Structure 1
Amino acid sequence: MSKGVLMVNLGSPKSTSPKDVKNYLDEFLMDERVIDVPWLLRAFIVKGIVLNTRPKKSAEAYQRIWWDEGSPLIVLSERLQEKVDNYTGVPIALAMRYGEPTIKQGLQELADKGVDEVLLMPLYPQFAMATTETILVLAEELRQEFFPQMKFTTLPPFYNHPDYVNVLSRSIGEKLDGVDYEHLLFSYHGVPERHIKKSDITKSHCKIDGTCCKTASPAHQFCYRHQCLETTEQVAKTLQLKEGTYSTSFQSRLGFDPWLQPYTDRTIEKFGLNGMKKMAIVSPAFVSDCLETLEELGMEGKEIFEENGGEEFTLIPCLNDREDWIKTLSRWIDEWAMQPKTQNT
């Protein structure tokens, strides 16, 4: 019996066909931690409205970024898994929270190799209900039902881990080397404000008022907003960015409830309208490029900037399968593998 690792990323439709995109959106949006309303209301919103209006448009967006090998997110995640596997002797399996390969398939792959202790590795630097938490909840449900012999350990959010901050900073610095830009925008995926308050273990700290994220609290362990802001500040410090030359925003909002602000699209628009000519953008909420980075930022964001007077728009890639990122993950895995066996966590 041995230890093994399950890397888990978001997922992707099987193809760019509206049917496959619809199936993917159904699984994704019906997750109670993505749209956290009672089931009947969620079903009305998703199955009654969204799935009748959005699949065709989303399919067209996927078509704009799809590679010959398939979904960029899947291809890049597979490259990551394969390269980390070459660096460490620990069995590595890959899964997606939505779509395939499923978390159940990934756990089965490890079980077939004799693995009885698994490091769950959500590929998200920051904790959020709709990303990390939903992965861990489903994995535990599957463990109890199909893999009761397994024990789980979870890689904590690494938003402020020096290794991650250094690799991210290096990737940004390399891309911007020799690039003339006026502002660097750190764009993170958005979540409803209520998710922040639901994740507040103190039930009182999170006010989303501009001060709570800067005031020390146990709530920060699960506060997505705090962790995003902290990533930005850590990278800015490492790169020695001047105050006023960088900022944080949030993208991909859905529906009419208040989401984390400022919104990325409106921020980009404002930059252009205010006379900015050259900007750069990075999305540290993702470690693999995907629809949200390649299409929403790299294409839509660029179009918004240029339509409002901007001239040069630089998209900084995610970490993807960078050599230093591969080595960092491999080192984390090896350090975990050398620890004594643990109980379920």
Structure 2
Amino acid sequence: MKRFLSKVACASLAAVLAMTIGCSKNPFENTSEASEKTGVEVTIGGSGAQVSGVPSAMGIVPSEADIVSGTVTITSVATGESVSKSAPYGEKVKFTKLLPGEYTVNVKLFDAQGKSIYEGTSNADVAEGVTLPVTVLVTPQGGSVTVGLLIGKLILWNTLDSAYALANSVEGPAGSFIGNASNYSFAAGKYDNGLQAVGQFDCANKVVFPGSVVATAKGSIEFWYKKTGAWQAGAGADLFCQGVPGSPTQNMEGCISTGYSGHYELRFGYAGTHLYTGFYNSNFTSNQNYHLAFVWDEAGIGGSSDKIRVYVDGVLVGSTNYTVARNVATNQPFVVGDIHAASGWTEWCAQGVIDNLKIFNYAKTDFSDRVQE
């Protein structure tokens, strides 16, 4: 994640507009055979929005002004006629069957009180049956504002369904085996196969990705988990781990622990804070896939006081507003399916299958897309 703060009287943000096929009426009605392919589709940028037309789902997140909706107005340069449509952030508005010609595209972005906080205008030359990308720069309205930019994107996506897939991520850096790869296998997960770690073996043998995939003060880790082994008495099952063993403020860990209390509980450890979710072993059915998501934002998730959260199948099961800044150790690997200790801890592997691992550099809170690989 790249995040920078600057106080400017006229800071500019990019609201990206994609022109494509649509299906609604407008004052510039085109009745030609190609009219259905002549139109404008605009995705409203905003807090946490995924903006159409940008690689890696780039988004715009102001730090002091929460964009919740937007209005797009297109105006014919030839006739002066215009039409407007509005939508919440992240949603699309469509203008279709446009007559070919030059148009202006005005974008206004609003906060929760309906105040226009960003605005910009650009030109668009609409051609018969042609799809054309347009970029509009929007600037703060009403004086100076402190703006934080988040390039929100997918940092890592690995399907984990084979040794080849592990070494060839769909997005982001490759994964690899350290030590004895035979301790791991690939077994049926949510989508095809996933990475399976069961039994007991020295944690010097592990699956890793570069530690840089979680080197941010905000982010989210999500995957599917299926228990296929037995959680060991007096121990737990590490699903992922990163940091320096024995140094809590540098560590991040998602696990199921501990047997010492007589039951196992889904837990998220972040910089020395341990969030126990209340999602116990009785909630886990063996050989059933569960979608798990671990989310953090040291400044507050989605503007709330929550600093870390855990979701199961898209439902929030635990959160806390207490944490400290993590001292990120990027030279330490991100471990999947086991604890990050250098050796020993033979019983702490995942005891199950981890499938379709994704890591984002922003605090994702909507996991309705989990049903799509």
Higher alpha-carbon Rg: 2
TM-score above 0.5:
no
Relative to the length of structure 2, the TM-score reads: 0.21
Larger RCO (alpha carbons 8 Å, 6+ apart):
1
Relative to the length of structure 1, the TM-score reads: 0.23
Which of the pair is proportionally richer in helix? 1
